[in-house]
Amino acid sequence: MAGSKGESGRVSVFKGHEAKLNKAIFRILALKGPLIIYDIHKEVIAQRGLRHTRYASVNKRVRFLEESGYIKKIGIKKTKAGFKAAIYELTVRAYLAIILNIINLDDLLMRVDEPTAQTILATILQAT
């Protein structure tokens, strides 16, 4: 069992100082589909509590999330200014992180049948 508060519960990408911005980026890409960083930034600053978020902060977060495997480049788009910009979308890992962050594990354990529980357990044991 987890010994301290920080060892279990929320997924690490949704913890700490950058959690709010990470959640916003995930939500935007989940709802709007693939976007370039400029468009992600426009959507971020339209949200309450994130209105003063700088483009550089969103750029840094997107690149971190890409390195972490939560988002991926799926193509290149030519912008109105004539530059080439990468288009990003969420990975399956990101969708799993979203679900694991909102799921009630006690509720899951009560609803899951024995074969499904075995599959989940086997997958977790393989990953460790």
Domain residue ranges in the chain: 11-103
Give the whole-angstrom CA distance, residue 63 versus residue 61: 5
What's the pLDDT at 9? Answer: 57
Tokens of 114: 């024995």
What's the pLDDT at 105? Answer: 84
What's the pLDDT at 127? Answer: 85
Tokens of 58: 């969103």
What's the pLDDT at 1? Answer: 37
Q: What is the pTM of this model?
A: 0.80
User: HSE-up of 11 (CA within 13 Å, CB side)?
Assistant: 20
Full strand arrangement of the beta sheet holding 71-78: 35-36, 84-90, 71-78
Of 3, 70, 84, the closest CA to residue 37 belongs to: 84
Phi and psi at 93, nearest 5°, equal -60, -40
Q: If one looks up domain 11-103 in CATH, what number appears? A: 1.10.10.10
Residues of the chain scoring pLDDT < 70: 1-9
